[in-house]
Amino acid sequence: MKIQKWWIFLLVATCMTVCMAEVKPDKESVAKAPFDAKAAKDYQELAARHYGVPLEKSADLGNGVKMEFVLIPAGEFHMGSPSAEGRRRSDEGPAHHVKISKPFYLGKFEVTQLQYKAIFGDTAWSAKNYAFKGDNLPVENVKWYEADRFFKEMSHQTGLKVRFPTEAEWEYACRAGTVTPFYTGQTISSDDANYDASRTYGTGVKGLEMKKTVDAGSYPPNGFGLYDMHGNVWEWCSDWYRKHYYRESVVDDPKGPASGKKRVTRGGSWKSWPKNCRSADRNKCAPSKSTSNTGFRVVLELEQ
C-alpha cells in the first residue's frame, strides 16, 4: 500500500512538471490565421513570455504625455480578399500567403493631436490645419512626409526605434486572426467604428453618421487590443502603392514596391463607406498630400 502511494506521488509530481513545461514553451508559438479573439490574446502572451517583454508598453513623450503600444506576435495569414468577398476591388487580389516573421509593438491608438504636439511643440500644433481640433482626436491633415518626420523626431527624443507599419503588418494586425471582411465579422455597424453609416455593407443596417473624427478609443478594440483599425482616419503605411503588386509579392515580410508615386493608406475614415473600411481594402495617396481624414499609427520595433 505504501509503495502504491509512493508511485502515485511520483506520477502526480511528474505530471505537474510536464504541465509547467507546457506553460513556458521553449519556442515561440507562431499565430496562424484563422484564430479567434481568445487565441489572439494567447498568442500575444506566448510571444511576450518567449521574448521576455511586456504584453503592453508605453513611451514617454514628455510633459506627462504617453503613447501606448500592444505586442503583435509573429504569424501567418492570407493577405487580400477572396474573390467572393462583396465590394472587393481588383487590387486586393490575389489573396496570398504572408508570413510576419518577427513580433512588433503597434500603437494601441492612432496618433493623437496631443501626442503630435508633445513631439513637435505648441507652435507646430497651432500651425496645423486640423479640420477638427481636440487633444484626444487623431491627428489629421498630415502628409506622409510629416508623419515620417514625426518618427525621426520621436526616435531622437525617446531613443526608441519607431516607424510606419508595412501594409502587410497593418492588415495582419487589423485582422487579428479573422478572415472575414471586418474584424467584427461579415459586416460592421456604427456601434463598431466611425464611418459613413448612412451606407451599409452586406446584411448591415444604417446607423449614426458622426461626420467628423472622434476621440481615439471610442469603439471596442479588435482581438489584439487595437482601437479604430476600421474608420476614424485612414492610416499611412510605409509601402509605395502598385495596383497589381500582390501578383509578385514575396511571402516573408513583404515591404511593397521599391518605388512609386503614391503611398498606401489603410482602414477607412469617418467619411468612408463601410466597403472601404474592410480589412483588405487598399487606398493610396500622394505622400505630399494631406486630407482631413488621413492620419497614422506607430510601430515600435522590438528590442532584442
Distance, CA of 113 to CA of 139 (rounded, Å): 5
Strand-pair category, 299-300 with 294-295: unpaired
> Percentage of the chain with pLDDT > 90?
87
Distance, CA of 211 to CA of 196 (rounded, Å): 7
Joined grid coordinates for residue 23: 506553460
Say if 18 falls within a structural domain. no
Distance, CA of 193 to CA of 247 (rounded, Å): 31
Say if 223 falls within a structural domain. yes
pLDDT per position as a tens digit, 5-55: 333 333 333 333 333 333 333 356 799 999 999 999 999 999 999 999 999
Give the total number of structural domains in the chain: 1
Strand order in the sheet with 75-79: 31-32, 75-79, 96-100
Q: What is the pLDDT of residue 122?
A: 82
Say if 221 falls within a structural domain. yes
Whether 197 and 274 have beta carbons less than 8 Å apart is answered as: yes
Whether 265 and 294 have beta carbons less than 8 Å apart is answered as: yes
Whether 46 and 192 have beta carbons less than 8 Å apart is answered as: no
**For the chain, what's the residue count?**
304
CATH number, domain containing residue 277? 3.90.1580.10
Lowest-confidence region among 23-27, 184-188, 192-196: 23-27
Q: What is the pLDDT of residue 27?
A: 55
Question: For all residues of the chain together, what is the average pLDDT?
Answer: 91
Distance, CA of 224 to CA of 294 (rounded, Å): 22
Q: Which of 37, 301, 251, 299 is nearest to 148 (CA)?
A: 299
Say if 12 falls within a structural domain. no
pLDDT of residue 132 exceeding 70: yes
Q: What is the pLDDT of residue 128?
A: 83
pTM, rounded to two decimals: 0.90
Distance, CA of 270 to CA of 231 (rounded, Å): 6
Say if 200 falls within a structural domain. yes
Per-residue confidence band for 304, with pLDDT thresholds at 50, 70 and 90: low
Peptide bond connecting 181 to the previous residue in cis, omega within 30 degrees of 0: no
Q: What is the pLDDT of residue 140?
A: 97
Query: Considering Cα of 249, then 255, then 261, then 265, what sign does the dihedral take?
Result: positive
Q: What is the pLDDT of residue 147?
A: 97
Q: What is the pLDDT of residue 28?
A: 65
pLDDT per position as a tens digit, 213-265: 999 999 999 999 999 999 999 999 999 999 999 999 999 999 999 999 999 99
Say if 10 falls within a structural domain. no
**Mean pLDDT value of segment 102-127:** 91
What DSSP letter does each residue of 119-138 carry, written as one string?
HH-HHHHHHS--SS--TTSB
Q: What is the pLDDT of residue 175?
A: 98
Say if 285 falls within a structural domain. yes
Q: What is the pLDDT of residue 125?
A: 66
Instruction: Provide the total of helices (H) and of strands (E) in the chain, helices listed first.
Output: 6, 12
Task: Tell me how crowded residue 243 is: count the other CB atoms within 10 A of its CB.
Answer: 11
Say if 57 falls within a structural domain. yes
Joined grid coordinates for residue 183: 474584424
Domain that holds residue 104: 34-300
Q: What is the pLDDT of residue 1?
A: 37
Distance, CA of 221 to CA of 174 (rounded, Å): 10
CA angle 301, 183, 170 (to 5 degrees): 25
**Mean pLDDT value of segment 120-148:** 91
Joined grid coordinates for residue 127: 500651425
